[in-house]
Structure 1
Amino acid sequence: MFIEKLLTISNIKKKYLLSDFDKKFIERARKKAKNIFLKKNKKIAIIVGPCSIHNFNEAILYAKKLKELQDEVGDKFFLVMRVYFEKARSKNSWKGFVNDPFLDGSNDIKKGIELTRKLLIEITKLNIPIACEILDINIFNYFDDLITWGFIGARTVESQSHRQLASSMPFVVGFKNPTSGDISKAKNAVDISKNQNTFIKTDENSKLSIFKSQGNLYSHIVLRGSDRESNYKMLENIENYKVMVDASHGNSNKDYKKQIDVFNYVISKTNNQNLIGIMLESNLEERNQKLDFLNLRFGISVTDECLSFLETKKIILSSYKKSSNNTYI
């Protein structure tokens, strides 16, 4: 059933316009990410932030806190904020800020697209690089100019459309292993993404068009564990692929506190030439809450449980202080 037309991608980008200054910041951030991928320096990327974004002002507050932390540890760690505005769901539930920004089942996608773009621009103005999951390809095109690090999730890693789109992206893209734990699926996705692909997607005028990508050489795998067990220690056995570890999900057995153990283990392996980063699920406050839009508590996840920002800051600063006195360039 048809409901209404959306503004074109071009019109949304003009309505919520990136300044030249912000464009240059994103260019620099993408270059930093690529340098980490290429091991041109000893920095480790830390992709950190809420499991999902559900509140505009809370996301901005988190970004401000992350900026303060980045200023403290930026010579050794490259902090990128998780701004997950879509959520892949295995059952019928809330699908994310962009799909239902008011969390009330109204599913005002039109408003969600505008609020999401506005949010991403505001975070960019704080000089915080942004990471997100590329889930709905049609929706993602409204935000592709704002992203420093993209991810293809465990439920879409085998999708040909997502692999092809990733091959055309001008930024680093990580492919998570599927929930089965089969790492070969993520490796196959990386291989396809690194090569040229010809495919159909919407252009800036929201018209279906044929695109030919040049291949994305900055594609890597993400170890996220499986439904049965963790796999983060496998990073030491993987060759010929750059690796990031997701400290949550299967690697924490969905116990948010266990992210700390995974984080400490991965940080101890930074001499591994294939390791480029780690991902943490963190919010202003710890744990999670049921989605009751009339009774939401401040700063608490409405999806997966998260570490508090205070705990997140503590473990990052601890690792920073334990590292060598040599400044990473």
Structure 2
Amino acid sequence: MRPVNPRIAAVEPLLTPAELRATVPVSDLATQTLLSSRHEISRVLDGTDDRLLVVTGPCSVHDADACLTYAERLAHLAEEVSDTLLLVMRVYVEKPRTRLGWKGLVSDPHLNGSHDVNEGLRLSRELLTKVLELGLPTGCEFLDPTVARYLSDLVSWGAIGARTVQSQTHRALTSGLEMPVGMKNTTTGAVGDAIDAIVCASQGHVFPGIDDDGLASVIETSGNPDCHIVLRGGAEGPNYGPLDVARTLDALGGAGLPKRLVIDASHGNSGKDHERQPVVVAEVARRIAAGEGGIAGLMVESFLASGRQDLVLGETEQLTFGQSVTDACVGWDRTTRMVAQLADAVTAGRAANVAA
């Protein structure tokens, strides 16, 4: 008789990736946006395209309607600044937690602790498809390697977070992802592990996983050449200043990697104070306008309403529409001002570089 594990409370069948894709078909328009945006992001990151990558959107998605309202506004804004900026929308459906808390749309889509993962995967896939159909590139952080199998084919830009960048599992996962992936520095602020992760993910790996039919499989990858570092600050303070950027670029060059990086205006760089994100953006914009090189993009946590609100599971009636239930975000009006500031900075930076 097989021993019973008393710590496994329940086991529920999970849809296969193939079944989910059949349930949520992807339109030609979404596919076109996906493929073209991946290519454009790669060109921005390698410097072939001199626009600035701007990844913006809510800390996490808890309300699909609010997310799509934001996406519609962002799509119009993206068109207005398309000559200078490449806007990507954060559609984060998984959330890392330092200890406990709501883990995202995939894990608990009803926000009541029921953990209907099958429905969470369906809603997430549907949402990513709708955002792509608006002509907007999509950005996601990858946490669970199994979830990536269900959603990664709809992601334009990916991220590996500060808590998982040291994980060999996530480095191997990234080596087989089809989109550019940003590796964040660790929560301490050190960049060495992120650089190691970029080198590691650029090579092929072999690891156990699942195939599209949900069967346990041996996955062999060929490596991801489009990985890059994201400076997000850390426990010792911000790292978006010119000296930190220069040191990181030198470290990248020493590892034989392109000297290009992305700056996260949130997290450690803002001291987790959403009101300081515009300060970070303004400083970086000033430097780009002066001709500073190496900065390929920025990340901003932004939603319809400024700030954050507490989520009480099962009690969602009083939630403010378009306000984060995880990290605090800047509101829409301030987002538009920051985007305009960055667009102007790119224009000025082009002129400064020509003059030089």
Classify the TM-score, shorter chain. over 0.9
Alpha-carbon displacement from aligned partner over 1:36-74 (angstroms, at most 9, x marks no partner): 111112101000000010001000000000001001101
CA contact (8 A) 2:91 2:139 kept: yes
Alpha-carbon displacement from aligned partner over 1:72-125 (angstroms, at most 9, x marks no partner): 101100000001111000111100111111111111111111111111111111
- 2:299 equivalent among 260, 279, 284: 279
CA contact (8 A) 2:141 2:158 kept: yes
Q: How far, CA to CA, are the matches of 1:15 and 1:21 in structure 2?
A: 18
Alignment of 1:9-20 (within 5 A): 9-20=17-28
Matched, 1:294 2:314: no
Alpha-carbon displacement from aligned partner over 1:147-206 (angstroms, at most 9, x marks no partner): 010000011001101001111111100111111112101111011011121222211111
Give the CA deviation at 1:324.
2.8
Q: How far, CA to CA, are the matches of 1:182 and 1:255 in structure 2?
A: 21
Larger Cα-atom Rg: 2
Alignment of 1:229-268 (within 5 A): 229-233=237-241, 234-237=244-247, 238-239=249-250, 240=253, 241-268=259-286
| Structure 1: gaps (5+ residues) | none
Give the CA deviation at 1:323.
4.3
| Structure 2: gaps (5+ residues) | 1-8, 254-258, 352-356
Give the CA deviation at 1:315.
1.6
Aligned-pair Cα RMSD in Å? 1.5
Q: How far, CA to CA, are the matches of 2:119 and 2:303 in structure 1?
A: 24
Match of 1:152 in 2: 160
Q: 1:91/1:72 Cα in 2 relative to 1: closer, same or farther (>3 Å)? A: same
Q: How far, CA to CA, are the matches of 1:323 and 1:42 in structure 2?
A: 8
CA contact (8 A) 2:232 2:265 kept: yes
State the number of aligned residues: 327
Match of 1:68 in 2: 76
Q: How far, CA to CA, are the matches of 2:245 and 2:345 in structure 1?
A: 22
Q: How far, CA to CA, are the matches of 2:213 and 2:260 in structure 1?
A: 35
Secondary structure of the structure 1 residue equivalent to 2:150:
coil
Q: How far, CA to CA, are the matches of 1:298 and 1:136 in structure 2?
A: 28
Give the CA deviation at 1:322.
4.9
Alpha-carbon displacement from aligned partner over 1:252-304 (angstroms, at most 9, x marks no partner): 00110111111122233434443210000000010001113232111111011
Q: 1:319/1:38 Cα in 2 relative to 1: closer, same or farther (>3 Å)? A: closer
Q: How far, CA to CA, are the matches of 1:208 and 1:6 in structure 2?
A: 13
Q: How far, CA to CA, are the matches of 1:301 and 1:49 in structure 2?
A: 10
Matched, 1:40 2:48: yes
Q: How far, CA to CA, are the matches of 2:129 and 2:70 in structure 1?
A: 15
Q: How far, CA to CA, are the matches of 1:290 and 1:306 in structure 2?
A: 13
Q: How far, CA to CA, are the matches of 1:44 and 1:269 in structure 2?
A: 13
Q: How far, CA to CA, are the matches of 2:273 and 2:310 in structure 1?
A: 17
Matched, 1:98 2:106: yes
TM-score (norm 2): 0.89
